[in-house]
Amino acid sequence: MARFEVPDGWTAQAFCFALDPTPEQTACVSRQFGGRRKARNWAVATLKADLRRYHETGKETEKPSLAGLRKRWNRVKDTECVDAETGEVWWPEISKEAFADGIKGAVDGYWNWQTSRAGTRTGTRVGFPRFARKGRDRDRVTFTTGAIRVEPDRRHVVLPRIGRVRTHENTRRLERLVSKGRARILAATVSRKGTRLVVAFRVLIQRPQQPRPSAPEARVGVDVGVRVLATVANSHGQVLERVPNPRPLEAALKELRHLCRERSRRAKGSARYRETQKKITRLGRRVADIRAHHIHKLTTRLAKTHGEIVVEGLDAAGMLRQKGLTGARARRRGLADSALGEPRRQLTYKTGWYGSTLVVADRWFPSSKTCHKCHNLQDIDWAEHWICDGCGVHHQWDDNAAINLARYESPSGDSAVGPVGAAVKRGADRKTGPRPAGGDEARKGSHRQVAEQPRDGVLV
């Protein structure tokens, strides 16, 4: 199946709106969530059975695909979707898009596993797709066909099977674009966020591209951190902005602990237990919304103002895994509360919207440990303020890092000298290539490379 490509002059963007459904519509949405889980679990079980049959008999099957598994699902859904108590077939109550979404998730997970075990997929090792369990799997469903539109009254949306649903907020920002022919809705995803239902429209939009930011010649470095959400500096050594960190989790920690103690005194499964759990869920959602609001304001302002933005290629997930250090638990909580990887993700697409450029510095670039005056590299541990041993200049961690990022230039060749003239650790500038998966499952003979192995039970 050919992949959809965004035409020139257009861009793909998401518009999210909270919903205010009726009790009947809420029940209908829950059925769509359950139908998606059912189809996904059937697809995972089918893929497992095909692999088991191949290992036992050597019989190969078709290459797993969404179209192929949907055909097989249509042949068995009359027996799979049967109420155990009444014996009635319930699949007509579910949109075909919910079943297709579940099968697509299983197929994508299967191919992620295959490419990971073959060593052709970057990142951490990916396992075989797991079964989706109610309460553990994130409730969501995506519709790509059917009645999907925003009503002219700007307070209702129409979704397949669910019908006309009132929105909690005004939809004028999307309705205007659709009515003027500058936007086309491609898909709609309904998901549960905390205690609310949210619809996210995937929209192809012809937005007026800003020809250039307000300061097109400006090059700034942005250092994200825990003490300060972001420090913005230029290559001349001037700190332009220090954005305070709202730390929403830290602000809500006292209330969160109180609610968790209250829940521990309830009988699990009781009405009061569920009521307290709802309060915890709402509090967590509020924390996430506050964090997202401040980061969106920051990244939009940066993309509209500066022509070139340099950020660090931080391994945020690896930083959260650090253990064995003094105060590591509180440090991990502070890192999670700051969402260090989110500004870079948002700047990746917002710079394209507003005509600016994003530069991601190497992960091993020692921006904090290098003196921006004399380029001396020294170990500063976790000190917020430090004095350079080479020139005696007093530095602040975030300010110094932002200035070095603004002066960052991509290294050329295999030199052991970093972009600011400071020596880097041995091997720090060497990229890690894809690694073969371990175990006998990834190899069928010593004469072949791992990446060239045929897929188990698949006709190539």
* Residues that are catalytic: 223, 312, 398
Dihedral of CA atoms 408, 409, 410, 411 in degrees, nearest 10, equals -100
Q: Which residues pair with 89 in a beta bridge?
A: 82
Side chain identity at 307, as an amino acid letter?
G
Tokens of 129: 């797709």
Could you tell me whether strands 11-18 and 196-205 are parallel, antiparallel, or unpaired per DSSP bridges?
antiparallel
Phi-psi region of 208 (alpha: psi -120 to 50; beta: other; left: phi over 0): beta
Could you tell me whether strands 385-387 and 394-396 are parallel, antiparallel, or unpaired per DSSP bridges?
antiparallel
Tokens of 24: 């009947």
Radius of gyration of the chain (CA): 26
Tokens of 224: 């994200």
Identify the residue whose tokens are 């969530």: 33
**Long-range pairs for 135-138: beta carbons < 8 A, 24 or more residues apart:** 137/37, 138/191, 138/192
Exposure b/e, 277-307, CB count within 10 A at least 16 = b: eebbbebeeebeebbeebbeebbeebbbbbb
Closest CA to 416 of 379, 458, 364: 364
Residue 176 near residue 24 (C-beta atoms within 8 A): no
Tokens of 26: 């809420």
Residue 399 near residue 231 (C-beta atoms within 8 A): yes
Three-state DSSP at 442 gives helix
How far is it, in rounded angstroms, from Cα 370 to Cα 239?
16
Q: Which residues pair with 140 in a beta bridge?
A: 191
Tokens of 230: 């972001």
Catalogue the E-assigned strands of 167-305: 183-193, 196-205, 215-224, 228-234, 239-244
How far is it, in rounded angstroms, from Cα 311 to Cα 406?
9
